[in-house]
């Protein structure tokens, strides 16, 4: 049963007062001093608040590499220590998923050195990183940057086969094909086909993959 309303932009969230005050120190202190059953929040996106409320009701934090910085910032502003702790735990991990989170977070925050270090970690653990679900949440610009770096000799990148890079690009496109097919030229243009063996090239130009290669200029 809900007894409290939170409004964010044009969205209205019906929630339990006891629940939100249990998790948020800021809301608890505010509502202890103000008798109201409705508040309007600013400086937070509706989707971010949905994630925070979902955690309050389920204790499951549904963040991804693109929204974690926003979720952490909102949790920090509301002083929700549990969500902050979970975000920090993700960032401090050394698993392949964490490399992707660190790469995107440092980019959002404008931390160029940290972003470069994270990019190198992705390259050094490339096969493990492309197997992670978070790889599919990367933006096209991020995918292109990673793919381009893979093909550079200066990165000291070790990859078994550039055909694997081609397959990773297909995987990313097919995850949301309706939206991402328009980026096929950009993504596939970052795959170093000239460095593939004849056998690998034959696989790329064979069905069902040929449709992606055929649209490339030249």
Taking only the tens place, the pLDDT of each residue in 79-88 is: 999 999 999 9
Q: Residue 6 pairs with which residues in a beta bridge?
A: 13, 39
- The stretches in the chain having pLDDT less than 50 are none
pLDDT of residue 209: 64
Largest CA-CA distance found in the chain, in angstroms, rounded: 73
pLDDT of residue 208: 67
pLDDT of residue 210: 64
pLDDT of residue 159: 73
pLDDT of residue 151: 79
Rounded distance, CA 1 to CA 171, Å? 43
Check: CB of residue 84 under 8 Å from CB of residue 56. no
Q: Residue 48 pairs with which residues in a beta bridge?
A: none
pLDDT of residue 77: 97
pLDDT of residue 156: 56
| C-alpha dihedral, 194 to 195 to 201 to 205, nearest 10° | -50
pLDDT of residue 129: 94
Q: Residue 8 pairs with which residues in a beta bridge?
A: 11, 41
pLDDT by residue (tens digit) across 162-183? 888 999 999 999 999 899 989 9
Check: CB of residue 162 under 8 Å from CB of residue 200. yes
pLDDT of residue 183: 94
User: Global pTM?
Assistant: 0.88
Q: Edge-to-edge, what's the strand order for the sheet holding 11-15?
A: 11-15, 4-8, 38-41
């Amino acid at each position: 049963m809900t007894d409290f309303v939170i409004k964010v932009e044009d969205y209205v969230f019906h929630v339990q007062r006891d629940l939100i005050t249990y998790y948020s120190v800021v809301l608890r202190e505010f509502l202890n001093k103000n008798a109201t059953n409705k508040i309007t929040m600013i400086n937070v996106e509706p989707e971010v608040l949905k994630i925070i409320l979902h955690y309050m009701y389920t204790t499951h934090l549904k963040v991804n590499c693109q929204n974690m910085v926003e979720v952490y910032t909102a949790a920090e502003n509301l002083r929700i220590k549990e969500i902050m702790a979970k975000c920090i735990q993700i960032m401090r991990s050394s698993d392949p998923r964490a490399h992707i989170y660190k790469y995107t977070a440092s980019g959002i925050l404008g931390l160029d050195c940290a972003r470069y270090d994270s990019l190198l970690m992705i390259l050094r653990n490339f096969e493990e990183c492309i197997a992670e679900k978070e790889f599919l949440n990367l933006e096209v610009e991020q995918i292109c940057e990673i793919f381009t770096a893979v093909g550079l000799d200066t990165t000291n990148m070790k990859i078994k086969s550039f055909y694997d890079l081609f397959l990773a690009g297909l995987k990313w496109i097919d995850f949301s094909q309706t939206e991402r097919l328009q980026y096929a030229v950009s993504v596939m243009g970052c795959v170093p086909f000239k460095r593939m063996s004849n056998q690998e090239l034959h696989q790329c130009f064979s069905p069902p993959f040929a449709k992606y290669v055929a649209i490339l200029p030249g």
